[in-house]
Structure 1
Amino acid sequence: MYNAESFIYNGTCSDNYNLTIIFFDTPEYHTGLTRETLHTERTLSRSKVRYYGSRYTGGIEFKFSIAKKDAREFSEEESIQINEWLTKNSAPALLHFNSNRSIYVNYYAICTNIEDKIINGRNAKTLTFETDSPFAYADMQSKKVTVNKELELDLYSHSCEKYYYPKIVIIPDMSTSDITIKNHTDQKSLTLNLTHHPDGIIIDCADCRISDTSGHLIHLDSLGLTVHSESPESADTSESGTLYFPRLLRGRNHLKLTGNCSVEFIMEFPRKAGSI
């Protein structure tokens, strides 16, 4: 990353503004992978703590400087256009550094600060980006299939975590109503009735959101949602009695799809790349 000369943010490349990266701030400790352990308290009668999990304490922060490729000063209009590009979104957007690194990764970040500076005699802007996650992400991939009554397929999760929650786009055939996604590996399934949604739906499994293809949220009762478990032992206690959003376990997952529809699984696996 530190040998990158340009970057893409929110769908726009810095080359469009005739910019180049001239300096990266490389703090000694700022990978974003700092974890805090969760455990019981030590007492006089119990000196050994019991660990029950951990959590990440923050994301990743990038700080780097940009200048014009021809080393000229920014005009007022150019400065305004660059500032507007970097600050127009209020939520994290895709940030990718164009470098010769062997691993292709993206970040989701928001620009939190822009400082106008003179660096080595050049008119420059120092940018600070803050990510929404301690992870980087592999390039997006998808698997699209057409289901005629039944279809079985394998999906592989390359996530660095135990579970990965994909996005799922379902476009039903006019001749079908109920559609089931069953993950034999996870021993759970989700059944939806799309009678009232003939144009299709999008399931954001990570955020537990179901919307139509225009992005409007859908009331769950209009989908006739049900949840099944093949065996009592397969259900996590924390999920008992709750709606199951399909997830992929690390490695191979064997799925069975039922209904008449097209289904697309969209995956963007996290990578523990830190701020390399």
Structure 2
Amino acid sequence: MSTLIQHTEPASASLPPDWSGIGACALPVATGAGTGLLSSHALVLTATGRLAAEVDFAERLCGPGTLLWIRPGQAARFGDPPDDTMTIVFRTGLFDPEELPGLTPDDPTGPAREPLALPRPDVFRSAFGHLAADAGGTPGPVTAALLRHQLAALLLRIRAIEPPPDLAGHVERRTFERFQRRLEEGYPHTRRVEDYAGELGCSVRTLTRASLALSGRTAKQVVDDRVALQARRLLAATPLSVAEVGRVLGFGEPTNFGRFFHRETGLSPGQFRARFTGGRPGGIPGQRSPSD
């Protein structure tokens, strides 16, 4: 999870309780509220209806039997949910890195990065129902252990639907995934591709080749995309001033941040923020094309 989450106030409708780290609610951000930054994981299940969601400024329409996994730090807002929508929220660091086979929930390269159509929605509805019922039970170590085991089973079911890629021989994929993990910790401090290549023990050319192969973006564009995404999150969902957003992202001068943001989104920071604070409506600006 990004260290920049500490600069924000969570806008979650429900946070997992401290005693278990696992909870249940209808949605992780209240319907009709502005864009909010999540401070925990949220697994949102649409059972029979359709749910309109926006996650990191991309629209998501979740049909019946769809699971949406929203990660900590992501920006989210929702339309009116069907009555049978269920959400399980859980904090980061709940599982050790090697505890769940083939899955580290806090890994930025984990499964269900897009809405996941479930092959057996009834199985997931049952699992969500049991978790929600037990989360409302008597707090204590037994209930906490029960919730933890149930959540582990649920996460492994998700992994079974989206198994990890076979990395044997796929050097570029391994390089890119290592790059993504390091970038999550490093982007507030450096935007230099040379720094990431040095930490990963490879050349800038190797890192760029892997990035182009897996994302269609150069390594520099991947870094800039991540910084611009965090800027949009903070501008849309926090009261930080434009200058403060720039500072926490490593820009010493507001003018440098403004130029960077305009280059990446086509809008000034103020123009982008106005779309979320009663200013003129508009679409969500996209990222630069690979040729930019």
Question: For the superposition of Structure 1 and Structure 2, which TM-score range results when normalised by the shorter chain?
Answer: under 0.3
Q: Which of the two has greater helix per residue?
A: 2
TM-score (norm 2): 0.24
Q: Considering only CA atoms, is the larger Rg found in Structure 1 or Structure 2?
A: 1
Query: Which is bigger in relative contact order (C-alpha 8 A, separation at least 6)?
Result: 1
